[in-house]
Amino acid sequence: MIDGAKVRQDFLFEPEYVPLNHGSYGVFPRAVQKVQREYQDKTEAFPDRWMRLEMYPELRKSRELIAGLLHCPADDLIFCYNASSAANIILRNFPFNEGDKVLYYTQGYVNVNSTLEYVRDTKKIELVPVHLEFPLSHEEIVAATKEKLEEHKDIRLAVYDLISSLPGAVMPYEELQRLFKSKNIVTVADGAHVVGQIPVNLETLDPDFFFTNCHKWLFVPRGFAALYVKKSHQGALHPQTVNSFYVNHTNASDFSSFEKEFASPGTIDHSNYFCVEAALAYRESLGGEEAIMKHNHDLAVQGGALMAKILGTQVMENEQGTLTASMVNVELPITTPAGVSDADFGRQIMTKLVYDHHVMVSPFKNSGKWWMRACAQVYLTIDDFKKGAHAAAKVCQELRKD
């Protein structure tokens, strides 16, 4: 049994803070912070020895640990700063031809979709959006995708989430991957919220590209994402910061420089890349991956139901209950006032939550309604969800009056 109140002492939160928004930036425990500081001290004590020689075997060890969690070869995995940079590396390097069509989802993460717009504007590709109004069953999401594929028979590449950001919803990613693969569509699987939240097996999923933040659900310090690239594409990718290992491959499947090009992003503080082992040891001390995932899922379901009851609204879920992993979306009893943009109103809700109530949940609009995304985590109890719901109720009441 994970005792949220006790586990909270392992983290660095302000006493008043009700941290219901793990999904945005993640946090890490003191035990991992200590290890990161030790790596920083080691670097400082003799920078050349560490940066030129000793860092590389440790980097390999971290890659092997993450590869073990993702079930993929460590050789096919590199590290970068975050999921947004992973999306940039893939989409800005992919050898698109003018007029290529790319399918994506409008609820996909804003930085990823903006990167697609940048590639549309610079490489003259065409974007094919799938718009989803939640809640939906997984069958309905697959059906909406099939409809788009019927309309556009020549999609070259598709970008899909395993778990989307807002709403925080599990997508039918196995069915989507199978569907795209059956049509020879290259796949970019956005797993920003995956490692540490749900199990994934890249060997069976078999995407062309996949990335996951380690700083969100795995408790490794930010910014740190792992990017998996199938061997047949490795020669086409180069890091955002091109370095002395750059090779212009005429064949995308020439992976000879992949590892080297991505191992050396110039001089930065890499200390978080070496905290994977410590983060996994901490997670083991709580019972390991399966126990953490089950605890968080159960708390999200229970906490979401309590929040909806307090607010007199509903949880965004389908009949099969397949949208919720460790993030739950609850309707807010409020509408945007006339003359105010949704963006400004969302900011007002958030600012009041943060400054008046020391609470953070992510407010967002979908299907014409306001919702909040609340994240379960090992350092929370059901009482935190109760506090979050009462804070949200008060904020909605005040904003309705203003």
Ligand X SMILES: Cc1ncc(COP(=O)(O)O)c(C=O)c1O
Q: Which residues are near ligand X by CB under 6 A?
A: 24, 82-84, 109, 111-112, 161, 164-165, 190, 192-193, 213
Q: Residue written as tokens 């933040």?
A: 213
Least spacing, CB of residue 164 vs ligand X, in Å: 6
Question: Residue 164 or 177: which CB sits closer to ligand X?
Answer: 164
Q: Which residues contact 330 (CB under 8 A, 6 or more apart)?
A: 304, 307, 308, 311, 313, 314, 315, 316, 371, 372, 374, 389, 392
Question: Residue 26 or 29: which CB sits closer to ligand X?
Answer: 26
Q: Which residues contact 180 (CB under 8 A, 6 or more apart)?
A: 155, 158, 160, 187
* Structural tokens at position 303: 């906490």
Question: Residue 43 or 362: which CB sits closer to ligand X?
Answer: 362
Least spacing, CB of residue 166 vs ligand X, in Å: 8
297 three-class SS: helix
Helices of type H across 51-201? 55-70, 83-93, 110-123, 138-151, 173-182
Least spacing, CB of residue 111 vs ligand X, in Å: 5
Question: Residue 72 or 169: which CB sits closer to ligand X?
Answer: 169
What is the identity of the amino acid at 49? R
Question: Residue 29 or 191: which CB sits closer to ligand X?
Answer: 191
Least spacing, CB of residue 109 vs ligand X, in Å: 3
Least spacing, CB of residue 15 vs ligand X, in Å: 26
Question: Residue 160 or 345: which CB sits closer to ligand X?
Answer: 160
- C-alpha span between 240 and 224 (Å, rounded): 14
Least spacing, CB of residue 401 vs ligand X, in Å: 32
| Residue among 177, 142, 133, 137 nearest 157 (CA) | 177
Q: Within a 13 Å sphere around the CA of 369, how many CA atoms are in the beta-carbon half?
A: 17
Question: Residue 192 or 334: which CB sits closer to ligand X?
Answer: 192
134 three-class SS: coil
Question: Residue 235 or 346: which CB sits closer to ligand X?
Answer: 346
Question: Residue 232 or 322: which CB sits closer to ligand X?
Answer: 322
Which phi and psi angles does 283 have, rounded to 5°? -65, -40
Question: Residue 165 or 264: which CB sits closer to ligand X?
Answer: 165
| Residue among 169, 218, 176 nearest 68 (CA) | 218
C-beta of residue 307 within 8 angstroms of C-beta of residue 330: yes
Least spacing, CB of residue 213 vs ligand X, in Å: 5
Least spacing, CB of residue 28 vs ligand X, in Å: 14
Q: Within a 13 Å sphere around the CA of 252, how many CA atoms are in the beta-carbon half?
A: 12
Asked if residue 223 has a cis previous peptide bond (ω within 30° of 0), the answer is: yes
| Residue among 327, 195, 273, 284 nearest 317 (CA) | 327
Least spacing, CB of residue 87 vs ligand X, in Å: 7
Closest residue to ligand X in the complex (CB): 165
Least spacing, CB of residue 253 vs ligand X, in Å: 27
For the beta carbon of residue 204, count every other beta carbon within 10 angstroms.
9
- C-alpha span between 23 and 189 (Å, rounded): 18
